[in-house]
């Protein structure tokens, strides 16, 4: 096993000709794809990995300056693809990983036949003529709460992010993976994500993008998906699902898995 592979807990499942890479978002790890993977392994080669900083990775490998921008995560993705000799993949990125895939695809479009992004946003902060869903004051309060008492913050944030029932399995699962992160690393990653702004590079993307999101998502308003659709340089398509929350593949698999499979299997009609 290669160094990069091992550091990111990369797993290769199935043996199809076409490769699918599944990348998780903030506060989770590759287990967030557990409802999707069984539907893919008979047809595809599936690569799963953990983002550096996830609770399942070695915190000693987390370089605070490298991961102060999303480019650090994009370089990791490209390194994983290189080490695993992937020549082309369908990339499925949840939350921040949707944008990580976009960044990686700009420098190496040959590696991505398409990007399927779930609950992704080009910018979380509101701006003139742009609605991201958050004011700076909201973010300052969020970061302060994370610093003051990380465990208490996790317990409060998990049900808000997942949506639906406080006692649901999905909320418990997200609470677990969120709490597995080292608090200082979680804060650093959250700051990187919430302060990111990818709007200026969207026109450079040439790979087809399938943009999927919940009707109601605390972190990503539907207009953020629309902004992606209008501004991506290549072909794109948006589907807003009747699911609730930021981790719908975990909380509403009955709705979301069929939609994900449809967008993985079918290309945007020319």
| Catalytic position from the list 175, 196, 217, 225 | 217
* Contact by Cβ (8 Å): 228, 120: yes
| Catalytic position from the list 8, 94, 246, 263 | 246
Q: Is 95 a catalytic residue?
A: yes
CB-based contacts of 19: which residues, under 8 Å, 6+ apart? 44, 45, 46, 47, 86, 88, 89, 90
Give the bridge partners for 241, in sequence order.
Answer: 214
Give, as one character, the DSSP assignment of residue 123: B
> What is the C-alpha to C-alpha distance for residues 24 and 50, in angstroms, rounded to an integer?
7
> What is the C-alpha to C-alpha distance for residues 90 and 114, in angstroms, rounded to an integer?
5
Which tokens sit at 147?
């610093």
Q: Is 35 a catalytic residue?
A: no
* Contact by Cβ (8 Å): 227, 201: no
Which tokens sit at 75?
């370089």
| Catalytic position from the list 8, 24, 94, 95 | 95
Centroid of chain to Cα 146: 20
- Positions marked active-site: 95, 217, 246
């Amino acid at each position: 096993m290669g160094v990069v592979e091992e550091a990111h807990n990369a797993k290769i499942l199935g043996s199809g000709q076409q490769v699918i890479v599944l990348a998780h978002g903030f506060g989770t790890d590759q287990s967030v794809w557990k409802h999707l993977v069984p539907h893919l392994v008979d047809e595809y080669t599936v690569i799963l990995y953990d983002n550096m900083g996830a609770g399942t990775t070695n915190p000693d490998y987390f370089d605070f300056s490298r991961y102060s921008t999303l480019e650090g995560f994009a370089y990791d993705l490209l390194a994983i693809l290189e080490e695993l000799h992937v020549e082309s993949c369908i990339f499925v990125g949840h939350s921040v990983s949707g944008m990580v895939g976009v960044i990686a695809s700009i420098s190496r479009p040959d590696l991505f036949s398409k990007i399927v992004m779930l609950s992704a946003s080009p910018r979380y902060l509101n701006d003139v003529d742009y609605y991201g869903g958050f004011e700076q004051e909201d973010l300052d309060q969020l970061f302060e709460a994370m610093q003051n008492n990380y465990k208490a913050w996790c317990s409060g944030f998990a049900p808000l992010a997942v949506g639906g029932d406080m006692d649901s399995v999905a909320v418990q699962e997200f609470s677990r993976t969120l709490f597995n992160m080292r608090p200082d690393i979680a804060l650093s990653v959250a700051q990187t994500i919430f302060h990111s702004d990818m709007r200026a590079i969207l026109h450079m993307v040439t790979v087809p993008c399938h943009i999927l999101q919940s009707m109601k998502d605390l972190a990503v308003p539907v207009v953020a998906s629309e902004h992606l659709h209008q501004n991506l340089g290549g072909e794109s398509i948006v589907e807003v699902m009747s699911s609730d929350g930021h981790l719908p593949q975990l909380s509403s698999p009955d709705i979301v898995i069929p939609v994900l499979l449809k967008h993985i299997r079918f290309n945007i009609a020319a």
